[in-house]
Amino acid sequence: MGKLEGKVALITGGARGMGKSHVRHLVAQGARVVFGDVLDDAGNAVAAKLSSESARYVHQDVTSEDDWAAAVATTLETFGRLDVLVNNAGVLRHAKIADMSPAEFRRVLEINVVGSWLGIRAVIDPMIAAGGGSIINISSIEGFTGAAGLSAYSASKFAIRGITKSAAQELGQHGIRVNSIHPGGIMTPMAMEAAQTMTDVDGASFLKAMPIPRFGEPVEVSRLVAFLASDESSYSTGSEFIADGGILSGPGY
């Protein structure tokens, strides 16, 4: 028996990168999963490799309240309950403040922050009906530190930490736990795209200075997602879980 047997999860941004890994890993642990994204071809391809009894793809833009209502309704119609939300969808725009338009800044906050907040709002009633639940918000190491060119991204990831703690305070009385995960250095399409624009960063020296001197695999974060989704983490809420190869432990002089 997997540790998530009987649980039903809704995962955003599941068509590629870490979200795709979370979908597969949670299904492997016994969960039934509905996952959304705006990349429909990629999302349908992920679903095609999984049993329709355990996974279903839906088109979902996390900035749309209607899409949230539809994704939650599909989850309840398909699998009868909702126990876990993984707010994973996110975007990174790399540009110095002087070079970034206000519209670009607002767009990052709209997807990463408002999208996650709308998700929490949309699952409260079904989770209360299920007798409790676990909400997992994907922040970043940039939720603890800034970086040149990442003002919008870092602001959004700090905000997710704050929302996580407020939601934990509000929802604990209903048996709903809310935690944040802070990955760093995970090899995904987002990381590869960022590496192409951050040409002033010396990747080899960066890696060498890390306590675990390698990039992380998406599944190394998925295992943390499964832990927080499961009853094994029953006494953790409002907390931060880091998977970054030790980047945040210090500058590695």
Ligand X SMILES: NC(=O)c1ccc[n+]([C@@H]2O[C@H](COP(=O)([O-])OP(=O)(O)OC[C@H]3O[C@@H](n4cnc5c(N)ncnc54)[C@H](O)[C@@H]3O)[C@@H](O)[C@H]2O)c1
**153 included as an active-site residue:** yes
Can you tell me the distance from the alpha carbon of 94 to that of 200, in angstroms, rounded to the nearest whole number? Answer: 12
Instruction: Output the smallest distance, CB 15 to ligand X, in A.
Output: 4
The phi, psi pair for 5, rounded to 5°, reads: -55, 130
Catalytic residue selected from 57, 153, 235, 253:
153
Instruction: Output the smallest distance, CB 77 to ligand X, in A.
Output: 20
Instruction: Give yes or no for a contact between 136 and 229, defined as CB atoms under 8 angstroms apart.
Output: yes
Can you tell me the distance from the alpha carbon of 249 to that of 145, in angstroms, rounded to the nearest whole number? Answer: 12
Catalog residues that contact ligand X under the rule CB under 6 A.
Answer: 12-13, 15-19, 37-39, 60-63, 88-92, 111, 138, 140, 183-186, 188-191
Can you tell me the distance from the alpha carbon of 77 to that of 135, in angstroms, rounded to the nearest whole number? Answer: 20
Cβ distance to ligand X smaller for residue 8 or 181? 181
Instruction: Output the smallest distance, CB 9 to ligand X, in A.
Output: 15
Instruction: Output the smallest distance, CB 252 to ligand X, in A.
Output: 17
DSSP character at residue 214? S
Cβ distance to ligand X smaller for residue 13 or 133? 13
DSSP character at residue 112? I
Cβ distance to ligand X smaller for residue 14 or 130? 14
Cβ distance to ligand X smaller for residue 37 or 83? 37
What is the arrangement of strands in the sheet containing 55-59, beginning at the earlier edge strand? Answer: 55-59, 32-37, 8-12, 84-87, 133-138, 176-183, 240-243
Query: Which residues are part of the catalytic machinery?
Result: 153
